[in-house]
Structure 1
Amino acid sequence: MADATGATNKPLIRVHTAGSVGGSTAIVAASLVKSGKYRRVLTMAWEKQSESNAMWALSIPVPFTKPVGAGAGGYFAPHVRAYIRRSGAPDHIGAMVAVKDRLNGARNPLAHLHQPDITLEKVMASQMLWDPIRFDETCPSSDGAAAMVIGDEQAADARVAEGQPVAWIHATALRTEPLAYSGRDQVNPQAGRDAAAALWRDAGITSPIDEIDVAEVYVPFSWFEPMWLENLGFAAEGEGWKLTEAGETAIGGKIPFNASGGVLSSNPIGASGMIRFAESAIQVMGKAGDHQVEGARKALGHAYGGGAQYYSMWVVSSDKPADK
């Protein structure tokens, strides 16, 4: 990688936080710049899921651990079922998210899946993989990569002076919790709530749904949209699905979620979190093309990983922070 990017003999840090790694890596880069250690940092992430079968075939079995073959969908399906039971959400909400995100993805030339003819009826009729998660409510297996350059204030000001848009980082947050402990809420994880609270505080945001113009959120299975709406503080507990049903998470709604098509349209796992961060930056720079949210000035980038354990988030804006 160092050879391919011309980074031989330059300082390199590898970050690993499961599915949230792309977001975490971006935050590490931002922290290195903010500390004054470096003026510009290249942050990148990638995944080749097309090679996953070969990787598993060549892997040594973990001693004393019997694989159950359920995969991520099998692990998260009970959490989704618990959310439906607790919130009273109707069965079609997951399908609505899938249709929205795939139609958004059809407008994004960089998305893996392009399904402009997808309908609610098609999603509802697709195969049930892990009750209540259907095939069309599931993310694809993708190859892909993402990269960003994080620069200091002087570098950003120079770009602005050249007439180029930049995305100003207003706040970042990272939180982690164990996979299993007594009383853990896997539907609305505490680490996610804590990360969001810290992010909003540091960004000076008191009402996320009124102050965030667009959100790029890690939604690998469609039902996670209403779950994250609540976890992030856009809706009260048990109320997130109502925003989805009312169309408020669509482009043109009150809080557009995943205008790019999100993880439901492209899922190179190692890069998926960074793509959320990059897409949030692209939105406030006004460079999103056919999936641009009109007037977007402040955006959320979000990633999670593991058993809903690792969280990374940032808020970016077209406006320079007041303390700069």
Structure 2
Amino acid sequence: MLPADSGIAEAASVLRTGGLVAFPTETVYGLGANALDARAAARIFEAKARPSFDPLITHLADAAELEKLVGAVPAAVAALTERFWPGPLTLIVDRPAAIPPIVTSGLPTMAVRVPDNAYARALIAEAGVPVAAPSANRFGQLSPTRAEHVVRGLGAAVDVVLDGGPTRCGIESTIVDARDGRPVVLRLGALPVEALEEAVGPVTVRPGSSGQPVAPGTLAAHYAPRTPLRLASGGEPPAADGVRRGFLAFRDRPAGDWAAVEVLSAAGDLTEAAARLFDALHELDAAGVAEILVEPVPEVGVGRAVNDRLRRAAATWHPAA
């Protein structure tokens, strides 16, 4: 593990030579490889045990790099880059010939963004190549918001881990397809739908996929801890059956003798709740409990993305949920 403020040059060299680098963004830690190198991209899928049908997000150092890579972009896409980049917004564009098909899982489109994290942009700029980077975790498991989460989950599969401290947003980027001028949200994320609508007017929200995903992170079951997890029905006391259970609460510590409890935001702040989500779930996952119950948060703003992650995590353990 290298400190992000002094390890950029070494990590960039690893990227240029086909290696894997985990690095902080404002959302979660990414597992990066040279997006122009098919063999390097294949290493991402191998390290994460990620199915080849789930496309990657390509990261750029600056919005100006988009047209250099893909050529002219639709006006609606350009307007969103101007308003929200750098930031937690991933946009769908047509895949350029320079990006090998493995990065997009054979799709004719590419997911791309500019992260709002100085370490991430410095790394990409120093490497001199676009960087393909899904979250730096085993496929389907909890996303990493700290460097130690990456080390714990992927270990020696990563050549370099840059430690930039905890991530600010704590959940993944929002993914939008605006190529035909009508923005469609394919994955809820750290940029709230309300912020998009304030900028461009009404948008369609269509998260989730059946068959091959058209965007990363849209499978029905995803983002799950190793410990079985289910949604709490509300005011639910721990069962009197001797089973150790953990509880993830929004703002109020629940009554009862829980084995472990994590509160996302005592102040009821949804931004803080989102930033704490995966960190809290990592703590509960390591607490030695037999089951984790989770309390949904208010379904507004970034809370919609938090609940989306909780539902997908629960679906991993309870497919009918």
TM-score over 0.5 (shorter chain):
no
Which is helix-richer, 1 or 2? 1
TM score, norm. by length of structure 1 = 0.28
Structure possessing the higher relative contact order (Cα contacts under 8 Å, 6 or more residues apart): 1
